[in-house]
Structure 1
Amino acid sequence: MSRFPHPSPADLVMRTVEELAEHPDANATVGVVLHLTGAVPDPAGLREHVAGRLTGLPCLTHLLSGDGPTARWVPAAPDLARHIGERRVGSEPEDLEAAVRVLLREPLPERAPAWRMVLLHGHAPDGFALLYLTHHAVQDGGSMAAVMEALFGDPLVSGQPSAAVARDVSRAPRPRLRHLPRSAARLLPQMRGHKLWQSPSRPLSSRRDTLWTRLPSARLRTAARAGDASTNDVCLAALAHAVAGWAETAWPRAAKVPLPVMIPVNLRTPKEATAPGNRLFLTRVDLPGGAMPPGERLARTRAVTAPLKSAEHKALLRAVLTHLPRWLFARLVAVSTAPRRLTVCVSYFVMRRRLHYGDAVVHGIDGVICCPPGVPLAVVVLAYEDVVSACFRIDTALPGAESLPTRWRQAVADLAGSAS
């Protein structure tokens, strides 16, 4: 029997929404692309390497079985010949991204732990890539970070933080009765419908554009210091700026109003670093909309994201995640993911440890986010060493939205430039 609890309603909803997808672009597959410098390895050696570390990675050795009250995490030994493969791609750098888009549409192994790894090579003369994909019902960003650290990082030394673990959740005080009304009130905005993305003339689809853009990490830090904000605030403000500029002509109903975004708050503790299932809470904030200078937008963004940084509020979210009656939590998840409440999803993650496979060093990491049906746009921003990479998954029903990555990058540059 598995030592892990039942899947949460948040886990189950990721499987349910995928069933609504009319195209595999809108599946619930998430992952990362590791870019390495060095000789292309032998796939057999890679399988042996992963096999030697599976014991400490239960999220790779369990599958989600059943549904509703009967759902269980079931132990299952992965067949590494099936889970780890190899693919040669074209010789141009853009051929790698094209290959990732194709692999994203392919189903994960059936009746087996929901993950796969693909060794990709041919696109660079002195390197290769490792594509890791999994199902969002089984792993969130925290557990994927833990897997990458376990497979390709040096062992943690005492006191060294893992990127998988929320820094202040373990230290957060237990919610007190007098704090609950104020904290609960912060959850109410995500219950409000907005219908911002429900256009009779342009219904949303299940087709997605998948685009990446990259910039120096120093640019984010410069903008954050100048605005007395976090780097996550900079990412969010830049996205709101990009959407407002795009919507002015392409989607007028979103041009002059606050932009509702859903932000996953990591609530994973050290003991749960590699456990199967999600340990996050999707929290909605309404970012400042309309036309305004980027610096003003950052200041107003910093104000609305303050609860996300509050240990008290995280303690409440953790209590909801672990102590709320299952039926009530399921109702909360169902209400917050109803079509008229779905909106842009944004994640921000920092990989703090340097990764490598043997002598081959990871010099860059791209995130891969899912964009389920009803979600117009999903973005994951992943910082690793000197580079920040943003993955945009965009509903193709949004006219001209392929410009959003460039608009976001320019908004970050404007914020950093105004600081100099």
Structure 2
Amino acid sequence: MPLQYTAGPPAAQPFSSRDRLITEIAGLGPDPLLHLGCVLVFDGGPPAPELLADHVRTRLPALRELVLRPDPGQRRWVPVDRPDIDAHVHTLTVSGDLLRDPSLAVDAVLDQPLDHSRPLWGLWIVASATGDGFALAYRAHHAFQDGRAAAETVDRLFGPAGTGADGRGTGALTARGGTAASLTSALLRDLLPTARPRAVDWPPARHPAAGTRHAAVGSYELRRVHDLIRGTGAGISHIALAALTGALRAWHPDTWRDAASPLPATFALSVRTADDPYRLLGNRGAVAVLPLPCHDPSPAARLETLRAEASPARLADLAGRHTALFDHMPYWCARKGLRRTIDARRVPLALADVRFRADLSWQGRRPEAVHLLPPSVPGQPLFAAWTTHGGRLRITFVADTGVPGLDALPGHFDDALDRLTARPAPAPAPCPAP
């Protein structure tokens, strides 16, 4: 009996310009460099692969995008007649305690391949050789799904049955429009390549790539920043950006002693609309270039700068430009615009903030930790992505193994949060008059 999909049976869908671009960019380096997803870490023993595959089958009616595979020759996604869910479930074993060190699971799955003859997603069961916890990792190719689509897929797989089926709560940014003339002018100024791009001198970008990747993760209590949110009006994303800026400043302090300019970083935005009939398919992202004020010694000033640079109005404006670039302009123009935006000589690192909206669980157990699996943009030495879960802010740093000192970043991030949330010392009481 054919599977009864919640939104009707899947049909072939053309590649968007973003899908084409991401597929092309993936050809610039090893294919795994453009996989993304997340890792859920649980207490207890790992499930059998058959049990996880059976669970996916029960959720498949609301996940029709997961049966579409790439047809590069026709530049489209086409349905698989008989999806083999078992082929998408894999197992790995790592040494060490996953509950104490979730980065073991992140590292284990980073560069695992995806079969391009099938839909471009997979689930990995990561077991610990010592029996201390296990992880479930969902991964997809960045052309098949962007970060928002992957997060919603995880919500539907491991949230309560029916999560996301109503099409609400996509978490996408509402892109601002504009006149054709203003959009064209902005695109030509901000996105198309210049003859001589200004190179950014940043130590992590100087190291030759090793071709393999490493992850470091950090976990921080959100209650540490509640007073800061109330006192400044900043959002979690602004605070994460400010703490990251402080961490990068401490990571290579000599770089910023005499510097007078910020460090450019790409910041991922989702512009997928709630009425998209294939919300979990393809890339519907935009990119903002944020100048991280690593050169500014004041934590409070860095936060205020980033509140302005990453304000909802500015991000919506940038999302509108990219929507026009990718959806309404010739492919060659979109290609040049994206190439300039991710040019590692100009923008040497990438950032993302991706949230989960469901109460995630497996067999009645909530995850002990949830960490994002960011992709690696070819040529860029570092990608940092964060989410919130269980009252904690969790960040993942991924870098080429040729970049030294990555494991120090979570500690620097912790110190930067302390400096952001430190209260000024009270002024000394005046001496009593004689």
Q: What TM-score comes out, normalization by structure 2 length? A: 0.82
| % identity of equivalent residues | 26
Structure 1: distance between partners of 2:164 and 2:78: 31
Q: Displacement of 1:43 after TM fit?
A: 2.6
**Structure 2 CA distance for partners of 1:180 and 1:142, relative to 1, 3 Å:** same
Question: Structure 1: 5+ residue runs without aligned partners?
Answer: none
Matched, 1:306 2:311: yes
- Amino acid paired to 1:292: P
Once the two structures are superposed, the pairs formed by residues 350-389 of structure 1 within 5 Å of their partners are 350-389=355-394
Question: Structure 2: 5+ residue runs without aligned partners?
Answer: 1-8, 426-434
1:119·1:128 contact (CA, 8 Å) conserved in 2? yes
1:32·1:133 contact (CA, 8 Å) conserved in 2? yes
Q: Displacement of 1:262 after TM fit?
A: 0.1
Structure 1: distance between partners of 2:191 and 2:60: 41
Matched, 1:106 2:112: yes
Structure 2: distance between partners of 1:14 and 1:311: 22
1:245·1:255 contact (CA, 8 Å) conserved in 2? no
Once the two structures are superposed, the pairs formed by residues 29-40 of structure 1 within 5 Å of their partners are 29-37=35-43, 40=46
Correspondence for 2:86 = 81
Once the two structures are superposed, the pairs formed by residues 324-403 of structure 1 within 5 Å of their partners are 324-403=329-408
Structure 1: distance between partners of 2:288 and 2:128: 41
Correspondence for 1:235 = 240
1:247·1:255 contact (CA, 8 Å) conserved in 2? no
2:41·2:102 contact (CA, 8 Å) conserved in 1? no
Correspondence for 1:8 = 16
Correspondence for 1:146 = 152
- Amino acid paired to 1:71: R
1:91·1:124 contact (CA, 8 Å) conserved in 2? yes
Q: Displacement of 1:339 after TM fit?
A: 4.3
**Structure 2 CA distance for partners of 1:350 and 1:418, relative to 1, 3 Å:** farther
1:415 partner SS: helix
Structure 2: distance between partners of 1:309 and 1:161: 24
Correspondence for 2:419 = 414
Q: What TM-score comes out, normalization by structure 1 length? A: 0.84
**Structure 2 CA distance for partners of 1:234 and 1:194, relative to 1, 3 Å:** farther
Once the two structures are superposed, the pairs formed by residues 164-313 of structure 1 within 5 Å of their partners are 164-166=170-172, 168-169=173-174, 174-176=177-179, 180=183, 184=187, 187-188=190-191, 193-197=197-201, 202-249=207-254, 251=255, 256-272=260-276, 274-306=279-311, 311-313=316-318
Structure 2: distance between partners of 1:208 and 1:387: 25
Structure 2: distance between partners of 1:247 and 1:35: 31
Deviations 1:101-122 (A, max 9, x none): 1332221124111111122334
Q: Displacement of 1:303 after TM fit?
A: 1.8
Correspondence for 2:127 = 121
Q: Displacement of 1:91 after TM fit?
A: 5.2
Q: Which structure shows the higher helix fraction?
A: 1
1:357 partner SS: coil
- Amino acid paired to 2:267: I
Deviations 1:330-370 (A, max 9, x none): 33223333443342101012223211223222342111112
Structure 1: distance between partners of 2:166 and 2:116: 38
Q: Displacement of 1:270 after TM fit?
A: 1.8
The structure with the largest alpha-carbon Rg is 2
Q: Displacement of 1:281 after TM fit?
A: 0.6
Correspondence for 1:65 = 71
Q: Displacement of 1:39 after TM fit?
A: 5.9
Correspondence for 2:62 = 56
2:393 partner SS: strand
**Structure 2 CA distance for partners of 1:190 and 1:387, relative to 1, 3 Å:** farther
